[in-house]
């Protein structure tokens, strides 16, 4: 499992894991994100809702994001 530094709702740093993408990464705005192994780049929030729905970093939310996310679950 790969980890990245993110902030909790109070702004405190914490370690977050890719398996908890929706919760962990929605607080990571402005942080340096790590690319998910097998992705084209770093995850992006394509619709600005605070959730990084483009897991593979290719600029769009598509089925490939679901496959990459599923393959990284341990």
pLDDT in tens, 14-46: 554 444 555 444 455 556 788 889 999 999 989
Q: For residue 37, which of 4, 7, 61 has the smallest C-alpha distance?
A: 4
**Extents of the domains making up the chain:** 3-72
pLDDT of residue 16: 47
Q: Give the three-state DSSP class for 53.
A: coil
CA dist list (Å): 8 to 20, 25, 55: 13, 10, 20
CA 54 to CA 65: how far, in whole Å? 6
pLDDT of residue 62: 93
pLDDT of residue 17: 47
pTM exceeding 0.95: no
């Amino acid at each position: 499992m790969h980890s990245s530094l993110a902030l909790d709702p109070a702004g405190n740093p914490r370690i977050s894991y890719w398996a908890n993408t929706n919760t962990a990464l929605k607080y990571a705005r402005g942080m340096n994100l790590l690319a998910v192994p097998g992705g084209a780049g770093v995850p992006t929030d394509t619709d600005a809702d605070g959730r990084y729905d483009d897991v593979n970093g290719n600029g769009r939310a598509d089925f490939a994001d679901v496959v990459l996310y599923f393959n990284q679950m341990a």
